[in-house]
Structure 1
């Protein structure tokens, strides 16, 4: 957003100058009230106490679309300590899993608590800006970290820009582990022709831009840039890709793409694309780019 200029077109064309919040709490309140739309994270708690030993409060706790625990930290402007502070709370969270499960159970129910993915906890830092040392640290820490820059435009517009993302060190669960009780199970990898197609899809989705990370879940593989933009499910004779692009904005082709808004399916996204061959993948790439642009 540092190079983005916003203009009001009604009446005389005037520039809407971006600004920072008056206080940090204004940013926190706004994001917490709309966390799912803005970050793809379900809000769980604000100013969550870490107890007398750690002596701190997590700005926001949440859980993302793939079941990963999320710590969100906010800074009004630039703060060199935001990443280290967030990592401190992330470490606390990993040492207090029962407390987090209890929080999820109380807010979202027992099924959601059983699906928490402890292999991929995330830290999201929302701030007015970041230093070049922050950008370097994201790549070196080995954790899943997103740095998100915010700006306020006038009285009605709030902008978020992901300036750096790292997927961290994922620890996929071993094949054959049972479901439930918070245990994870890795989606089966296709082989043969479908395996080659899956590898090609993986290359295309990861190559859409910087900051794309991959998360292997129980029944699908998610590709995210802060939020999921594509979820790939493997079948014996095809790959199903669920995208965040709006089905209403594309021309649906029978046997290739369909609107699954009202249909249950694995992963996130309401546009389903069916891939049987490399030719289908070529047809789907524009839809992939559309979905990437949405998030």
Structure 2
């Protein structure tokens, strides 16, 4: 919310809605935990989770994101220089207690979710009133996936979240064309080049974009997934976007509403890409999905 001003237009006048911090840290925690999937793209698992008598700590919130990565969320009412180190302390504990976390997922979300937990990139999300430039620098020096999220309350019923910094633990994975995806070697090369171009376009939409590679798809996320790219098929790439299909003029062979239909990745709008021209045509949809995440 740095530099952002919000105004309420009513009866021909204009009144500034002054941002404010929460009265207590617990107010932020309760709000986010109640709406965690909507606000952060994370399924809530537990609050004030005990790390046991030897470790002697309590994790503010534990969750599982859209790609199956474990997530720890730590909250601070204002600015606290210790929030990152505290979160990393708990994240290290979590990585050392994988089976305990799997049991928690199994109890809350079922055995299927527990079997698909992705340990390659566990995440720390810090939600606070503000962060210093030292905090932003610090997350870039760690080999962990960390999101710094600034909150503000506006008036009685508006809440704002701003991603201040977002760092992925892993280097970018190389785009690979699945064996047998096409019988024509030239088609393989063409789809491989198209996949690389899609990757470049999605990463170029803004700062703080993280890629997560799963077997069935590659996700591009801010706090939440905004695009999921599946491995090349025989003649096309399928991209699923977090965009409202009802707000799009659907074109047969290019866009499709997959609301309620099973598919890999997240998003209700399917985009089919076969050529560079299709990619150019899809860029407005990519930007809308990025904005919605």
* 1:143 is aligned to 2:107: no
> How far did residue 248 of structure 1 move?
1.1
**Cα distance per residue 1:102-150 (max 9 Å; x no partner):** 0000000000000000111000000000010110111110110000000
Find the aligned partners of 2:53 and 2:86 in 1 and give their Cα distance. 17
* Number of the residue aligned with 1:180: none
Equivalent residue for 1:209, pick from 206, 210, 214:
206
State the superposition RMSD in angstroms: 1.5
* Number of the residue aligned with 2:129: 128
Find the aligned partners of 1:211 and 1:270 in 2 and give their Cα distance. 23
Is contact 1:187–1:219 with CA below 8 Å preserved after alignment?
no
**Cα distance per residue 1:40-70 (max 9 Å; x no partner):** 0000000000001110000000000000000
* Number of the residue aligned with 1:69: 70
* Number of the residue aligned with 1:253: 251
> How far did residue 262 of structure 1 move?
2.0
Find the aligned partners of 1:109 and 1:52 in 2 and give their Cα distance. 27
**Cα distance per residue 1:175-222 (max 9 Å; x no partner):** xxxxxxxxxxx9948741111000000000001111011100120000
> How far did residue 95 of structure 1 move?
0.4
Find the aligned partners of 1:66 and 1:195 in 2 and give their Cα distance. 23
Is contact 2:177–2:192 with CA below 8 Å preserved after alignment?
no
> How far did residue 236 of structure 1 move?
2.3
Find the aligned partners of 2:128 and 2:177 in 1 and give their Cα distance. 35
1:1-295 matched pairs, under 5 angstroms: 1-11=1-11, 12-169=13-170, 188=178, 191-234=188-231, 235-295=233-293
**Cα distance per residue 1:87-109 (max 9 Å; x no partner):** 00000000001110000000000
> How far did residue 171 of structure 1 move?
9.8
- Determine helix, strand or coil for the equivalent of 1:59: strand
> How far did residue 169 of structure 1 move?
2.3
- Determine helix, strand or coil for the equivalent of 1:28: helix
Is contact 2:19–2:154 with CA below 8 Å preserved after alignment?
yes
TM-score with structure 1 length normalisation? 0.93
Find the aligned partners of 2:76 and 2:46 in 1 and give their Cα distance. 18
> How far did residue 4 of structure 1 move?
1.1
Structure 2 gap segments, 5+ residues each: 182-187
TM-score with structure 2 length normalisation? 0.93
Is contact 1:86–1:123 with CA below 8 Å preserved after alignment?
yes
> How far did residue 249 of structure 1 move?
1.2
Find the aligned partners of 2:37 and 2:171 in 1 and give their Cα distance. 23
Find the aligned partners of 1:251 and 1:86 in 2 and give their Cα distance. 44
Find the aligned partners of 2:53 and 2:72 in 1 and give their Cα distance. 19
Find the aligned partners of 1:265 and 1:48 in 2 and give their Cα distance. 33
> How far did residue 272 of structure 1 move?
0.4
Is contact 1:223–1:229 with CA below 8 Å preserved after alignment?
yes
- How many residue pairs get aligned? The number is 282
